[in-house]
Amino acid sequence: MEKTIEIKDLYKSFGSLDVLLGVNLDVYENENVVVLGRSGTGKSVLIKIIAGLLSPDRGQVKVFGQSVPDLDKKELNALRLKIGFSFQNSALYDSMTVRENLEFPLVRNIKNMTRAEIDKAVEEVIDGVGLKKTLDQMPSELSGGQRKRIGIARTLIMNPKIMLYDEPTAGLDPITCQEINDLMNEVKERYRTSSIIITHDLTCAKETGDRVAVLFDGKFKYQGTFEEVFSNPDPRIRNFYDYNFIESKLQD
Amino acid sequence: MSREATKPVFSEKIDDWLLGFYNAFEFVKLVFKEAFSGDFEFNEFVRQCYHIGLRSLPLISLTGFVTGFVFTKQSRPSLMEFGATSWLPSLVTIAIVRALAPLVTSLICSGKIGSGIGAELGSMKVTEQIDAMEVSAVNPIRYLVVTRVLASTITIPILSFYCALVALAGCFLNVTVNEGTNLYAFFEKGFDSIVFLDVITAVIKAVSFGFTIGMIGCYKGFNASNGTQGVGKAANSSVVLSMFLIFIEEIFIVQVTNWFR
């Protein structure tokens, strides 16, 4: 299988705060990689660098063989059309209806589309996330789970080849979490995407990840399948597992 | 406190100020660059004109009318001492056209529109909506900033013109009730005292004030941080900075145009 994302020896710091200290990660075609780690360890920074929202201090970030930090604005925008980014707080445009949110990237990136073609594309993605009734609602009228789904639908309308999910299940109840996990798996199958899923929810990691990478001290200390990573005797891994296990039991 | 202890803090403040100035300059440069490249977001521009212009009309109407009415009322006793109340239309028209209309409109708009733009963009920034736009390959400067700056630059002169008309209506009401001046005589006296340079000066002022309000609101909003506190700070500092710059511009434009009188 071909590599879609290649990260080599990536460093990033903010002032005196070192966040990423030599990160290495490869993501292959049609693979979901879950990135785990405690809050503030730089998980979101990593995917923002991949999407070109932040620049690395040094190291290599390649997406479809193109070095992201070396791209000019036009090339970066062309690459971004192949990348879907689902934000932690969904980042829906407050002043627009759901329909306008979904149309927004489409009408600005694909010229000369007819109204019928736009409507068809909108209906296709909204059907895919099962929220057709919300089309004329404002984002403020939606629940947290609905906002996440619409956020994902807005990225899917451009038919991306890579999906970057930032904390897709954060702040949601267990049933909605399950629905989002199912949606991410469905997206992978239907759109044949490669994904990086940032989370600290182990249920999400187990259900969606083909591979899990754990970020400690600015590096991926452990990578492998969920079972491989969590059979490791490292006390930090054990603590992570135990806490999630207790938390999910309490939620049950 | 020792000299060694205070020195770094002072120099850091100067550094921050210079860095802020440089960032603002870069932002303005970027806005100009984006304004003249790529597609123009016409629908968003029209929406902003509606928000900035039409929605400010009630407040501008009230402020303009009260300004004209009260200014006339307060000027009467001084002119009465010289038996020159017939000069009221000329005095008030000059004051309104040369200074009050653009200044009052811009100060009102910096509070209403500048804070609105700062808060809206600040909120979009902290909720990652601007990042979402960028990863969708949509240029947020072109979509959000160019449209708002252009809308405020165009609508504030129109609002200033409207404010001048309403203020003159307030003045006329006061003059006609007290002196019995008719509408024709009022406008004849008023506009006789106005020269072309006065109108041009007012237009230059209103355009530069409008540009300042839009640009400062967008700059502060785009650079908001620290959650809701940052949004409030962006809205507040948009108003304070744009008002400060409006006064500086007022002094500068008056000085320059007076050379041509």
Facing residue for B131 by CB, picked from A91, A108, A109: A91
**Residue B158 distance to chain A (closest CA, Å):** 26
Question: Under a CB-based contact definition with an 8 Å cutoff, are residues B215 and B245 in contact?
Answer: no
Q: What is the pLDDT of residue B1?
A: 45
Q: Which candidate from A80, A91, A105 shows the least CB-CB separation from B128?
A: A91
Residues of B with CB under 8 A from a CB of A: 120, 123-124, 127-129, 131-138, 143
| Interface contact A246, partner B, CB < 8 A | no
Tell me the residues of chain A between 89 and 108 that have a Cβ less than 8 Å away from chain B: 89, 91-95, 104-105, 108
If you average pLDDT over residues A182-199, what whole number do you get?
93
Residues 109 through 128 of chain A touching chain B, CB cutoff 8 Å: 109
Q: Is the pLDDT of residue A249 over 80?
A: no
Annotate chain A with three-state secondary structure.
Answer: CCEEEEEEEEEEEECCEEEEEEEEEEEECCCEEEEEECCCCCHHHHHHHHCCCCCCCEEEEEECCEEHHHCCHHHHHHHHCCEEEECCCCCCCCCCCHHHHHHHHHHHHCCCCCHHHHHHHHHHHHHHCCCHHHCCCCHHHCCHHHHHHHHHHHHHCCCCCEEEEECCCCCCCHHHHHHHHHHHHHHHHHHCCEEEEECCCHHHHHHHCCEEEEEECCEEEEEECHHHHHCCCCHHHHHHHHHHHHHHHHHC
Nearest CB to B132: which of A81, A91, A109?
A91
Checking DSSP bridges between strand A17-28 and strand A3-14, what pairing results, if any?
antiparallel
**Do A80 and B124 make contact, defined as CB atoms within 8 angstroms?**
no
Structure confidence by residue, pLDDT tens digits, B15-57? 888 998 899 999 999 999 999 887 889 999 999 999 998 889 9
pLDDT band at A52 (very low <50, low <70, confident <90, very high): very high
Min Cα separation B115/chain A (Å) = 17
Instruction: Provide the residue ranges of all domains of chain B, joining segments of one domain with +.
Output: 1-37, 40-258
Question: Distance between the two ends of chain B, CA-based, in angstroms?
Answer: 54
A144 vs A243, higher pLDDT: A144
* Structure tokens that stand for A88 in this block: 């932690």
Please list every residue in chain B whose beta carbon sits closer than 8 Å to the beta carbon of residue A105. Answer: 136-138
With b for 16 or more beta-carbon neighbours within 10 A and e for fewer, the A148-166 pattern comes to bbbbbbbbbbbebbbbbbb
pLDDT for res A252: 54
Contacts of B37 in chain A (CB under 8 A): none
B127 vs chain A: nearest CA distance in angstroms?
A: 6
Per-residue confidence band for A115, with pLDDT thresholds at 50, 70 and 90? very high
Of the listed ranges A54-68, A165-179, B64-78, B238-252, the one predicted with least confidence: A165-179
Contact A87 B128 (CB under 8 A): yes
Mean pLDDT on A84-91: 92
Contact A105 B138 (CB under 8 A): yes
Question: Between chains, do B135 and A85 touch, taking CB under 8 Å as contact?
Answer: yes
Domain A3-251 in this protein, CATH class: alpha beta
Residue of B nearest to A158 (CA): B136
Largest CA distance in chain B: 72
How close B120 gets to chain A, by Cα (Å)?
10
Could you say which of A51, A91, A158 has the minimum Cβ distance to residue B127?
A91
Distance in angstroms (rounded) separating the CA atoms of residues B89 and B189: 6
Name every chain A residue with its beta carbon within 8 A of the beta carbon of B146: none
Chain A residue numbers with beta carbons less than 8 Å from the beta carbon of B129 are: 91-94
Interchain pair B132, A93: CB under 8 A: yes
Cα B123 to the center of its chain, rounded Å? 22
Q: How close, in Å, is residue A20 to chain B by CA atoms?
A: 21
A78-81 long-range Cβ contacts below 8 angstroms, 24+ apart: A78/B137, A79/A52, A80/A51, A80/A52, A80/B134, A80/B135, A80/B136, A80/B137, A81/A109, A81/A158, A81/A160, A81/B137
CB proximity under 8 Å: A 19-58 to B? 48, 51-53
Shortest CB distance from B135 goes to which of A83, A94, A108? A83
**pLDDT, position A107:** 92
User: Of the candidates B243, B250, B241, which has an alpha carbon nearest to the alpha carbon of residue B223?
Assistant: B241
- Put simply, the answer to whether A92 touches B129 (Cβ < 8 Å) is yes
The C-alpha atoms of residue A196 and residue B23 are separated, in whole angstroms, by 33
Candidates A53, A77, A154; nearest CB to B131: A53
Nearest-by-Cβ selection for B137 from A80, A89, A94: A80
For B135, which of A80, A93, A94 is closest by C-beta distance?
A80
Place of tokens 């399950």: A178
The CA–CA distances, whole Å, from A39 to A167, A177, A240 equal: 11, 19, 12
User: In B, which residues are within 8 Å of A108 by CB distance?
Assistant: 136-138, 143
Q: Residues 150..209 of A with a Cβ closer than 8 Å to B: which?
A: 154-155, 158
Q: Which residues, including other chains, have CB under 8 Å from residue B97's CB and lie 6 or more apart?
A: B164, B194, B198, B199, B202
- Regions in chain B scoring below 70 on pLDDT: 1-8
Going from N- to C-terminal start, the domains of chain A cover: 3-251
CB A97 within 8 A of CB A135: yes
How distant is the Cα of A89 from the closest Cα of chain B, in angstroms? 7
